[in-house]
Structure 1
Amino acid sequence: MIAASVSDENIRTAELVAIQTEVNHLPIFAEYDLDRFPKLSRLVFDLFSEEEGLDALFGLVREALPERLNETAYALCCDVTAADGRLREVELRFLEEIRYELKIDRLAAAAIERGARARRMTL
């Protein structure tokens, strides 16, 4: 989620609120140690500043994330990038890279993306 927010080089308040809300309310984070969050954030920022940092980031994600949670991770990234109500081209490319790296099939990705869009609709 942090990487999705950082992908356009502009972390928006709505994205930070979305991350905080997800971490505070979703069962997947029930056992998550919140003290790790600042260190993890710094790691993501550092990796984004390196030439091969994105490849290293995805390697770490694949290593730490059980495959059964790949769609969950993708859904959380979609929610974060959609949080401000606008998807930028760089964010769309980042989501495409996540889909590829996590092996999310097109039909599942489309459903996840549509769900994120539906949750962010306004009157």
Structure 2
Amino acid sequence: MTLDTANLTPQDALVAMMIAVSMSDENVRTSELVAIQQAVNYLPIFAGYDVDRIKEISQITTELFEEEEGLDALFGMVRAALPEHLYETAYAFACDVAAADGALYQPELRLLEEIRYELKIDRLHAAAIERGSRARHLKG
């Protein structure tokens, strides 16, 4: 891999989750990439984050998706880098990327379900996060 996964930052883990959702249906859409870029450029959690790392994190995520147990490795990497209090943040970013194009596809829905499970997101909290994403991405 191009980056030492042991040295991933919490921000790297958030980016990895967003990229994973975008890649989940094997069709990375421009609207999803824009959602990732906007989050990194404008949200306080990414203040001081080196945007050049997005490419590296994307490469790691792509490599993991090509491995048989890659999704498990991705979640292990994310849990190792991300403090538990940011698990819901990761889920919120993942939901925003999934909703960015105005449609949710089965692979995205399955990955969101897996994220909820792996990050132990309470079902009621997940529903609230999902509703917020849906409201932000409605088309007139």
2:105 maps to amino acid: R
Following the alignment from structure 2 to structure 1, what is the Cα–Cα distance between the partners of residues 83 and 119?
10
CA distance, structure 1, for counterparts of residue 40 and residue 48 of structure 2: 10
SS at match of 2:25: coil
CA positional deviation for 1:38? 1.0
Match of 1:11 in 2: 28
Q: Could you list the runs of 5+ residues in structure 2 that have no partner in the other structure?
A: 1-17
Pairing partner for 1:104 from 95, 108, 121? 121
| Structure 1 stretches of at least 4 aligned residues deviating more than 6 Å after TM superposition | none
Give the structure 2 partner of residue 65 of structure 1.
82
Report the CA distance between 1:36 and its aligned residue.
1.4
Give the CA RMSD over aligned residues.
Answer: 0.6
Residue 130 of structure 2: aligned partner: 113
Number of corresponding residues: 123
Letter of the 1:41 partner, please give it. S
Give the TM-score, by structure 2 length.
0.86
Q: Deviations over 1:44-86 (max 9, x none)?
A: 0000011000000000000000000000010000000000000
Q: Which runs of 5+ in 1 are unaligned?
A: none
Deviations 1:23-58 (A, max 9, x none): 000000002121211111000000001100000000
TM-score (norm 1): 0.98
1:20 counterpart = 2:41: no
User: In the aligned structure 1, how far is the partner of 2:138 from the partner of 2:131?
Assistant: 11
After superposition, where does 1:12-91 map in structure 2 within 5 Å?
12-91=29-108
